[in-house]
Amino acid sequence: MGTPHINAEKGDIAKTVLMPGDPLRAKFIADNYLENVKRFNTVRNMFGYTGTYQGKPISVMGSGMGMPSIGIYSYELYKFFDVERIVRIGSCGAYTDEIDLYDVLLATSAYSESSYAKVQSGTYDEAYTYPTKSLNDTLEKHASDLDIPIRKGVIHSSDVFYRENFDDYKTIYKEHNAIAVEMESFALFHNAKMTGKEAACILTVSDSLVTKEATSAEERQNAFTKMMEIALSLAE
């Protein structure tokens, strides 16, 4: 079969897909955590892999950066490949000094100024979209079973990484209670709602807009292990 952006057959992709932004992180997860791995997508180097984790099937695929990109891939996975749930595993910037680098966050909603939801469906004109409650509950339980502390909160899905006024984040933190910023979840949650599927988002804090601290690529790779292990336990 195949779609414009995913050159796979329907049965090539598991019911659960983990989506890091970076396709090379998808490759890292496949190489280091999965067995019986088969690569199912190479279009635009947006690599996707299916394998088994503790004997159970799961897929992992890059989403690219930003809502237009994750919007395309998640829609095709839900609509044309019978994917039931997508868990974004990404990085974020902290909006409050109560959050430290490498903390793991679970999104309870995504606030955005984006027109994605309105343009996609023509009917849904809200500033917030939501993950699937039962999926969040499962992820929370897995985190607790693995003894990994997680923090829950509203996240800001931004269309812009380089704002002229970085201090704008203070208003968003105050008015929307958004504790961290990333660039994809709002569109992912909307697509799940429109297709009747499930979505969630776990994030690792890679930088802070408050303290201006940032992590190196190598430190990030290690820290992301915790988040991946929480999400991988969704293999079924």
In sequence order, the β-bridge partners of residue 16 are 85
- Largest pairwise CA distance in the chain: 49
Asked if residue 103 binds ligand HPA (CB under 6 A), the reply is no
Shortest distance, CB of residue 127 to ligand HPA, whole angstroms?
A: 17
By the rule CB under 6 A, 184 interacts with ligand HPA: no
Q: How far is the CB of 158 from ligand HPA (least distance, A)?
A: 5
Cα 134 from Cα 141, distance rounded (Å) = 11
Query: CB 206 → ligand HPA: shortest distance, Å?
Result: 5
Cα-based distances in Å from 158 to 48, 50, 196, 228: 25, 30, 24, 23
Report the site for ligand HPA in 7-66 (rule: CB under 6 A): none
> Taking Cα atoms as reference points, which of 112, 117, 107 lies closest to residue 200?
107
Q: Tokens 């890091």: give the residue.
A: 20
Q: Which of 207, 231, 234, 235 binds ligand HPA (CB under 6 A)?
A: 207
Closer CB to ligand HPA, residue 77 or residue 181? 181
Which ranges of 101-153 would DSSP assign to H, the alpha helix?
A: 116-121, 133-145
Instruction: Name which of residues 146 to 175 contact ligand HPA (CB under 6 A).
Output: 158, 161
Assess whether 145 carries a catalytic annotation.
no
Interacting residue ranges for ligand HPA, rule: CB under 6 A = 91-93, 158, 161, 181-183, 206-207
